Amino acid sequence: MMYWNSLACDEIEALVSTMKWLQVSVAVHNEVAEAVAEVFSRHAPRGVVIEAGPEGWNAGPVIVRAYLPADEQLSDRKRRIKRALGHLNQILPVPVPTFRAVAEEDWAEAWKAQLTVLHIGRQIVIQPSWLDYAPHQEDIVIRLDPGMAFGTGLHPTTQLCLAAVEDLVRPGMCLLDMGTGSGILAIAAAKLGAADVVAVDDDPVAVEAARANVMVNGVSDVVRVVQGSLADVPDGYDAIVINILSRVIIEMLQAGLAARIRSQGRLIAAGIISGQEPEVIAAAEQQGLGIVERRQKDDWVCLVARPRLGQG
């Protein structure tokens, strides 16, 4: 196993020509994970994932991980990440990050080794596309191949969102999935009866993975996967689901996410570490939303909000 920060410049150039991704990871306490993820998110176009360490979510460190493309900006991205983590370390304990070269096919195989058939909520079953599963009559099965996109069902935030979607989606609804990743939440909404689902992501790799998963699950007539940002999204949704970092949720709320919810609609927001919850609630309330439900799994929180004028 070769770590990038131990290589000379000429060796780096040679390695860049033979691989596609550089994995950056750091093991930190739960309370620090959100801040580290925020640093990574500035430089990792594939997104950031926070994983449980060997001792589980509530004990020991968690692992913050992201993937950097091996392109002409790689050295600058590495330098900026190290500098930002160094500044953060003056406030909170953050170890030196680890960098490791990863081929795209190796990344995919690493995910496959972690995934199993997963039951979530009352009916939802996540079936990795390469595994067999004999469904029960009541199962809502989502066949999934995440590729290089995040959203496998393993993470507590995804599980919280899926359970909330299962409880809130009604037949005929129009739903927006911001930052769709693998498309898992959009597909779940469609299979639960939503009539129109728009799944948006700014990452072309995620869009490709989501479109493939939508097709495999037979919901192409309901789910439209769009590469873009909030600015490309019109108004008028019965439900919006967003499972990203707290900072991004706050930014999108400030950019008009709440205005796209119908008066009786709901916002499902997750990816929130419990320590960041007050900031997200404050941002939601500033945009005219009231929190009507709170869910928690380990240190992760999912908030359900609605427009205040729509409360009855």
Q: Cα(63)–Cα(36) distance, rounded to whole angstroms?
A: 10
Cβ-count burial of 275 within 10 angstroms (0-12 exposed, 13-18 middle, 19+ buried)?
A: middle
Low-confidence ranges of the chain (pLDDT < 50): 1-18, 310-312
Give the DSSP H or E segment for 141. Answer: strand 140-144
Per-residue confidence (pLDDT) for residue 181, from 0 to 100: 86
Are residues 164 and 288 located together in one domain of the fold?
yes
116: how many CB neighbours lie within 10 A of its CB? 11
Give the domain range for residue 64.
4-102
Residue the block writes with tokens 């739960």? 30
Per-residue confidence (pLDDT) for residue 7, from 0 to 100: 31
Are residues 81 and 198 located together in one domain of the fold?
no
- Domain holding 42: CATH number? 3.30.70.260
Task: Kindly state whether residue 111 falls inside one of the protein's structural domains.
Answer: no
Per-residue confidence (pLDDT) for residue 310, from 0 to 100: 47
Are residues 178 and 93 located together in one domain of the fold?
no
Are residues 183 and 269 located together in one domain of the fold?
yes
Q: Cα(107)–Cα(202) distance, rounded to whole angstroms?
A: 21
Q: Cα(180)–Cα(165) distance, rounded to whole angstroms?
A: 14
Report field, pTM of the whole predicted structure over 0.85: no
Cβ-count burial of 20 within 10 angstroms (0-12 exposed, 13-18 middle, 19+ buried)?
A: middle
The residue out of 87, 102, 117 marking a domain boundary is 102
Number of separate domains in the chain:
2
